[in-house]
Amino acid sequence: MTVNGAEVTLTGNQLILLPTEEPQTIAATDKAGNSSTVTITVYDGHDWDEGIITTAPTAAIEGVRTHICNHCGDTRTEAVAKQSSDKYPATGDTGSTLPWFALLLVILVKIAIFLP
């Protein structure tokens, strides 16, 4: 048996490969001369994606963000904080109502000008 062309010795009828982050080609030949090769990559741990919200948070419950490993497809979840139950949004510029009142006033004045 070889790994990347180098002869290897099995340990207890097992092949142990260390993480390399690079593809490794394993070749084996049986007593009848039949050969087979396989190329694998052994990673050292997970590489999680940025995740997606799978349960949206509300004011009553926490949400859930699910991450998927880019190597093996395993998943993990993390809590997303409840939404604020304040009167204004979390980004809340409470002074932003003034332009709307000004626009409403302009519309009312224009309507008043055109009324007989």
Break the chain into its structural domains and give their ranges: 2-41, 45-83
Beta strands in 22-74 (DSSP E): 23-29, 35-41, 52-55, 63-68
pLDDT per residue as tens digits for the range 54-113:
999 998 999 999 999 998 899 999 999 998 876 555 555 556 666 777 777 777 777 777
Residue 11 clears pLDDT 80, i.e. is over it: yes
DSSP 115: -
pLDDT the model gives residue 91: 56
Q: How far apart are CA 29 and CA 66, in angstroms?
A: 43
pLDDT the model gives residue 49: 95
Torsion angle of C-alpha atoms 83, 86, 92, 94, degrees rounded to 10: 170
